[in-house]
Structure formats: C-alpha cells, structure tokens
Structure 1
Amino acid sequence: MTNRSERGGTVPSDARDAPYTDPLAFGQRLQLLRTRRGMTRTVLAGLLGRSPSWVKAVECGRLKTPRLDAILRIAEVLRVRELSELTGDQGTRVDLFVGPGHARLPAVRDAVNAFPCDTAEQAPPTAELRSRLSGAWRARHSSPNHRDVVGALLPGLIRDAQLAVRQADRAADRRAAQSALAEVYGLGQFFLAYQPDAALLWRVAERTMVAAQESEDPHVIGVAAWLAAQAHRDSGPAHFDAADTVTIETLRFLETLLPDAPDDVLAITGALRFEAGHTAARRGDSGTAWRHWDTARAVADRLPSGYYHPVTSFSRAVMGAHAVTVAVELHAGGESVRQAAAADAVAIPSRPRRARHRIEEARGYRLDGQYEAALATLDKAFETAPETIRYNGHARTIVLEQSESKSPARRKRAARLAVKIGLLAA
C-alpha cells in the first residue's frame, strides 16, 4: 500500500551553501527537518542506532557531515522526499520516496476529477461492477507490472461506480453501489501510492472513507481505515497519532463483530491490528509492536489455511513477512534476518506483495551489514514485480547507498540495479 511525506520548507539564508563543505549547514537542515516531523533527538537517535549527543553534535556542527550511508539512513527515518532537502546540494535531487509518474496517471487523474452528470448513460449492475473488481484485484496480484494493468482498468471502473451511486433508487441499492465505489477508490490508492501527485491520492483516500461510511459495510469500512492509516503513517512521525486514531477506533468497531464475523471481516481486523503494530514499530516501541503482531497472528490462525484477503494480502502466509517488517522498522538487524529466514516468501501468492517482502528482507540484510545479500534480494524483488521496486523508496535508498560502496563488485551490482529501476540512465 502507499508515501505522502511533508516537503521541506524554506532553508535559512545562511544554510544555502554546499553542505559537504559546511557541516553547520547540514546540521541546520537536519534540525529543521527533525523538528518539522515532530521528532525529538532521542527518538531520532534511537531509530538511527546512535546517541542523542551524536545527533546534537551533528546539528550543532561539532561533527562533520556524515558519510553517504548515514545521510541516507537519516533521510529514510525522516521520510525526506528529495535528498537535496537534507543535503542542500541541488545537484543531488534524488526523489527517494516518490517513484516516477506512471504513463497511465493522467487518465486516472482525469477519471477522478470528472463526475458523470449525464444520466443518459446506464450504469452497470452492481453485480457486474463486483465481478470486474474481483478481476482487477486478481490481475493486480498476478501481474509483474501491476500498475500498468490496474491503471488501464481504473478509469472505466471509477466512471461506472460513480454512475451506479447516482442512479441507485433504493437505499439498499445505493449502499451496495457505495460499497463498490469505495473499493474502486481503494484500488486507485494502490495505483497512486508513491506517485508524484500526493494531493490526488489524499483526495481519493477521503472519497474512499466517505463511500465506505455510506455503504455501512463493516468490511469496506475496515479497508478504508486500513488505507487511511497507511497514508497517515507514511506522511511521517507527526502523523503517527492520526494513523493510530483511525486504526484503533475502527478496531473497536470491528472487534465487537468478530464472534460471528465472516472471513473478510476477520481478515481486515487482523490487517488493522498489524497496522497498529507497524506504526508502533515506526515509533520504536518494540513491546507494543510485537504485542499487536501476536494479536494479528491469532486472528490469522482463525482463517482458513488457503485464505488470502484480496486487498490487504492478510493471511496466515503473510504473517512471516509482517514479522520481518516489524523487526526492520525497529532497526533490529539480527532479528530482521532471523525473521526473514523463518518467513516463506514463496507462500505469498501476490507478486507485488511478494516483491515488497523481498525489499523488507533486503532492508534487514542492510541493517545487519550484509550488503551483498541486500542487493541480491533486491534483484529477486525486481524479478518478481519490477513496478514494486521501482516505486519503493527503501529499495531506491539501498541501491543509491551501495552505488557509493568501497567494494567494486557491489558498486557494479548496484549500478546495474539502478539502471533497471530507473535511478540511472542505461
């Protein structure tokens, strides 16, 4: 699922010189970005594996500008969109957490911005919309270039779902149409994630929530909340509380339904419980993160062995991948590698989700200092779903970092991967 991090603001006039020759300028930028993200020195230090005094010394200019690998780790933790926001070097305009604009983005944007007022066109039956949606989710999970497939389907789905809502005469029909519309917008969020139009993604996220509430469908409400929580969390530490609010309030609503809940409601409850753990891990709260993971695993164990949620990928099979994510977000390199060894990537049927798991594994290897293994795992991610790695900021960070490695072999391998994912021209 989906980054909308805050942009850095105006840099003080005395911080405009090249930071690689002026350590104070780099430190000022670091302090500015840290405070704008609502993060204390102690929290930043913990996430970096450093001491608060080290962060203070860098910010005050008593220490030299860190090496590239440390700069990239800082950029990752602070969710800095363009590396130049942190370094001040306008020749280093690397957009870390936003991928390229997809060729189908304009058509999807036009469909979102339009609204069908011409009632002469007949809306398709809701059952037909549901069938098309199921086909779209299957195509997304099976395609290596899933954004291309989904981007081709979205304009028609958005138009027809909007028509279905407008033309519904009875309350029950309108709720069913709103349910389909919410899921269409949810699919749109997967397409828009990490693309260079944050305003469009947030507009779609809000429409998803509104349509879900109108549908009165617990499963659809849960999916909308799951997507909104991710959007808030990926906006940076200042938005973690908003992510928790959406997640916990929706869990309170859904968990009252669990004794007799169908599999889809059970699955979205488990997915939301893991999202709470994911946000806790981002905060560095290990105990809370793993408690939420344990609760999510208990929910997964109640699902049929072959069940796989079509939106969130929640299932028994994905819990190992979720454990890797928790360990990685806690910056526990050894634990990340141990969890990666225990997880079964092959059991994950979705190609984009499997590729994302490989990227999380690569992050774990990087934390553990196994840089060759990290690059090899990113190669596997590319083979599984090229579009997933092309739009993933963590993968881009690792590749960029290793392109400056002291090892010629690693530099060469990173350069080849950089060309594949579009960081470097062929």
Structure 2
Amino acid sequence: MPSDTSSDPYVEPIAFGQRMQILRTRRGMTRSVLAGLVGKSPSWVKQVEGGRLQMPKLPVVLRIAEALRVPDLAELTGDQSMAVDLFTGPGHPRLAHVQAAIDKFPLPTEREAAPAAHLRERLVRAWRARHTSPNHREVIGALLPDLIRDAQVAVLQAESVSARRTAQARLSEAYSLSQFFLAYQPDPSLLWRVVERSLIAAQESEDAHTIGVAAWLAGQAHRDSGHGHFDAADAVSVSTLRFLEPLLPSAGDDLLALAGALQYEVGYTAARRGDVGTAWRHWDTAKAMADRLPADYYHPVTSFSQAVMGAHAVTIAVELRAGGESVRQAAAAEAATIPSRPRRARHRIEEARAYQLDGQAEAALASLGKAYEAAPETIRYNGYARRILLEEAESKNPAQRRRASELAAKIGTLAA
C-alpha cells in the first residue's frame, strides 16, 4: 500500500542496512558524511544499505550508532539481545522528582517566595556543588525540585517590573541548571521543555548574561539532536553573539567568557560537519577571548576559561576525525588545571576518543579510568565512553578486554 511516510525500523524485522538507511535519512545525514564519521567510503555505506554487504562487526556497528546518535543499539541492529543504551543514560533515581517539579503548575498563593538574595545564593551554591562533586547529578538532583518551585513562585509574586525581571533571571538559571541534570536522561521531551522555558524566562529578564547562558545551552540541545539540527544550533549561537557584540568592549569577565563559549560552540558544530577551516577559526577566536580573562578565572556555567581551551582543542580535532592531531592536542592539554570535576572527566573522555581514533586502545582505556576517578556520573551518562568500553570489551587482547569489561561493569554498561 503506497504511503508518504518512512517505514519504522523498529516494527518490522528488516535488514540491518535498511535500518541504517532509515536512521541516517531521519538524521538528515548524507552517505558521504556517515562514511567519514565511521572511517569508510560512501560506496561501502551504499552497499551496506543496499544489502550487498552484511551487518559489520560490533566495533563498526558501535561507530555507526555513535554517528547516528542511536539511543539504543537494538534500534540499529534489530537484535533485542543487543539492547544497550548508548546516548541515553540509565535514568537517574532523582529524575522523577525533578520531572514532578518541572511539570507542576504553580499557583501564586501556593507558598511564600524566598527572598531574592537567598534564592540567588542557593543557585550560586548549586553551581559550585555541580563543579566540585564527583556524583554531580545526585547533588543537583536533590537541590533542583525546591529551586525550581521557589524560582517559579518568585516570578508569580514579584511586586514590581524590576523584581519580576530579576526573578525571571533566577528562574531561567534554575532551568539552565536542570539541563545539566537532564542531559542524556531517557526523557528528551522533558529536556526540550526546560530548554524552551529557560529561553523564555531569559528573554523576559532582559539580562544579557542570562540570555547568553540560555542560548548557549539551547544551541547544544539542537546540535545533540543530530545533523539535521546543526543549522538551528548555529542560528542560536550566532544571533546571540551579534546581540552581545555591542556590549563586549565594556563587558565584565562573565559576559566576555560567555561570548567566548558561544564562539567555541560554533566551531564545535563546524567540526561535527567536517568543516576544518571554520572549526579552527572559531576556536582561535575563542582562544583570543579566553586570553583576555584572568588566568584563574572560570565561568560558573559554561566552564569557559584559559584552562579549558586545550580540552576544547582536543574535541575539535576528534570531531574532525584527525587521529594524530587529536593525540597531539591531548598531550598539550593539561587536565589537572580544569577545576570542574565533571568538565575534567569530560575532557578525559575526549582524550580517550583521541587515543582510540589513533589506534591507541590502552591509552584510551587509561583515560577513561581517569574520567571515572574525576566524576563517575559523567562517564556513566556519556555515550562516547560507553561506545569505547563496549568496543574494547570485544578486543582480542585479553588485558584490554578485562580492563574495559571491569570499567563497563562499574558504570553499568555491562552487568557485573
């Protein structure tokens, strides 16, 4: 029966190649782009999709799943015994409580609003806790329900235009903090509700820094949705940079750092596209902005700083699939100077990607071990780390296989 809709790769028992083609098309990705991401030729992709080549071995399947941002490996393979979450984490125990606070419809008379200064101090402490805690989702997950409710009520009970704008800024900040908790959780619709609410509250606040933070996170949400959303990611980042540009000559450190973080995001998205020149050009611009900041400065939300630029360079090189350059940048970056534990763990994961891309599996596993030491919850919810561990758990080298399996069991990718 004719239909103008795509077939669903999860309903009928269809071949691996057909599933791959449907998922690739849904992501708005060409064969050439997918081929580059998995280290194959476009003709190879075409032959797999056409059924002339059978399903490849697990390491290549994992790379395809990573490139297509497939949340569950079974969606690509059709084999329910391979039902492994990759880019969706296991679901945090505090997710239901945070969701309830986000979903609840607050009333102006429900509770008395906390003083503005008190709410601001609680948010400052929450950001600090996120950066210093190894299990940062557990910590901020405990704080978020009350923060969200109090911020909502503060907006409803504001008695002046100025007070309402301040309250909207605090509400947007609470939603921004929520996005760090909700990333890679098994409820993408909840994440997008928070992204949109944060943007609306930021606009209502008319505060440049608040608007910039909300836009920075919205751009990441678009980019993480796949190649078909890269233009939306760039649009958010570029338009916000234009908004901030007139303010930068007299800007303080926080606003300057935020502009630098947005510049880097444009470069990151370009790297995901495979655009070498644009990626490094925006990294250079961001680096120049970082160099204008004090050496010990660290942005409380974006982590933008002089210290993080080396880590950003590793990510750019990895996304460009430049193995040798990735390792060179990893060797030059100093993870110990990054004060945020989750950001330091993220850098170690990117370092692991660099080493694996360069064929150095043992070094990749060592970096993942350091990521686990820095922040276990970061590696537990990171799809790249999960993919590397699953791939190396199938290694022919017994020592690598054992090491990968032990760490995978620790983070819950494999049963202990």
The corresponding residue for 2:347 is 357
Rounded to whole Å, the distance in 2 between the matches of 1:405 and 1:169 is 64
2:319 to 321, 329, 339: 329
Instruction: In structure 2, give the amino acid aligned to 1:416.
Output: E
Rounded to whole Å, the distance in 2 between the matches of 1:345 and 1:363 is 15
1:116 shift after superposition: 2.5
SS in 2 for 1:195: coil
Q: Could you tell me which runs of 5 or more consecutive residues in structure 2 were left unpaired when the two chains were aligned.
A: 1-5
1:29 shift after superposition: 1.2
1:145-176 CA-to-partner distances (Å, cap 9, x unmatched) read 00010011111111111111011111111111
1:63 shift after superposition: 2.2
1:376 to 353, 363, 366: 366
1:87 shift after superposition: 1.0
Residue 150 in structure 1 maps to residue 133 in structure 2: no
- Once the two structures are superposed, the pairs formed by residues 101-250 of structure 1 within 5 Å of their partners are 101-119=91-109, 121-250=111-240
SS in 2 for 1:79: coil
1:62 shift after superposition: 2.0
1:47 shift after superposition: 2.0
1:48 shift after superposition: 2.1
Residue 416 in structure 1 maps to residue 403 in structure 2: no
1:118 shift after superposition: 4.8
Rounded to whole Å, the distance in 2 between the matches of 1:120 and 1:145 is 32
1:255 shift after superposition: 1.3
Instruction: In structure 2, give the amino acid aligned to 1:78.
Output: L
The corresponding residue for 2:21 is 31
2:279 to 265, 282, 289: 289
CA contact (8 A) 2:17 2:54 kept: no
Instruction: In structure 1, give the amino acid aligned to 2:244.
Output: L
Which region of structure 1 is more displaced relative to structure 2, 269-278 or 26-35? Answer: 26-35
1:16 to 4, 7, 13: 13
Instruction: In structure 1, give the amino acid aligned to 2:274.
Output: G
Rounded to whole Å, the distance in 2 between the matches of 1:424 and 1:39 is 30
Instruction: In structure 2, give the amino acid aligned to 1:255.
Output: E
Instruction: In structure 1, give the amino acid aligned to 2:334.
Output: D
1:264-323 CA-to-partner distances (Å, cap 9, x unmatched) read 111110001100011111111111100010010011111111110000000000000000
* Alignment size in residue pairs: 411
CA contact (8 A) 1:355 1:384 kept: yes
The corresponding residue for 1:315 is 305
SS in 2 for 1:256: helix
Rounded to whole Å, the distance in 2 between the matches of 1:121 and 1:414 is 50
| Aligned-residue CA RMSD (Å) | 1.3
CA contact (8 A) 2:108 2:157 kept: no
Rounded to whole Å, the distance in 1 between the matches of 2:170 and 2:10 is 48
The corresponding residue for 1:389 is 379
SS in 1 for 2:93: coil
Rounded to whole Å, the distance in 2 between the matches of 1:225 and 1:207 is 11
- Once the two structures are superposed, the pairs formed by residues 68-79 of structure 1 within 5 Å of their partners are 68-79=58-69
CA contact (8 A) 1:115 1:162 kept: no
Greater relative contact order (Cα < 8 A, sep 6+): 1
CA contact (8 A) 1:297 1:316 kept: yes
1:46 to 36, 39, 43: 36
Rounded to whole Å, the distance in 2 between the matches of 1:290 and 1:135 is 35
Rounded to whole Å, the distance in 2 between the matches of 1:66 and 1:159 is 49
1:231-277 CA-to-partner distances (Å, cap 9, x unmatched) read 00001111111101111111111112111111111111000110001
**Percent of aligned positions that are identical:** 70
CA contact (8 A) 1:213 1:221 kept: yes
Rounded to whole Å, the distance in 2 between the matches of 1:58 and 1:120 is 58
1:34 shift after superposition: 1.0
SS in 1 for 2:82: coil
1:86-122 CA-to-partner distances (Å, cap 9, x unmatched) read 1111211111001111111111111111133152632
Rounded to whole Å, the distance in 1 between the matches of 2:18 and 2:99 is 37
Rounded to whole Å, the distance in 2 between the matches of 1:42 and 1:307 is 41
Rounded to whole Å, the distance in 1 between the matches of 2:109 and 2:9 is 51
Instruction: In structure 2, give the amino acid aligned to 1:181.
Output: L
Instruction: In structure 2, give the amino acid aligned to 1:193.
Output: A
SS in 1 for 2:54: coil
CA contact (8 A) 1:328 1:336 kept: yes
Rounded to whole Å, the distance in 2 between the matches of 1:11 and 1:133 is 43
CA contact (8 A) 2:27 2:228 kept: yes
1:372-399 CA-to-partner distances (Å, cap 9, x unmatched) read 1111110110011000000000000000
The corresponding residue for 2:241 is 251
Residues 120 and 401 (structure 1), Cα distance of their counterparts in 2 relative to 1, 3 Å cut:
closer
Residues 29 and 256 (structure 1), Cα distance of their counterparts in 2 relative to 1, 3 Å cut:
same
Rounded to whole Å, the distance in 2 between the matches of 1:412 and 1:421 is 15
Rounded to whole Å, the distance in 2 between the matches of 1:313 and 1:294 is 17
Instruction: In structure 1, give the amino acid aligned to 2:210.
Output: V
Runs (4+) of structure 1 moved beyond 4 Å?
A: none
1:49 shift after superposition: 2.4
The corresponding residue for 1:4 is none
Which region of structure 1 is more displaced relative to structure 2, 249-258 or 44-53? Answer: 44-53
Instruction: In structure 2, give the amino acid aligned to 1:226.
Output: W
TM-score between the two structures when normalised by the length of structure 1: 0.94
Which region of structure 1 is more displaced relative to structure 2, 338-347 or 68-77? Answer: 68-77
1:342-362 CA-to-partner distances (Å, cap 9, x unmatched) read 001000000000000000000
CA contact (8 A) 1:115 1:159 kept: no
CA contact (8 A) 1:212 1:224 kept: yes
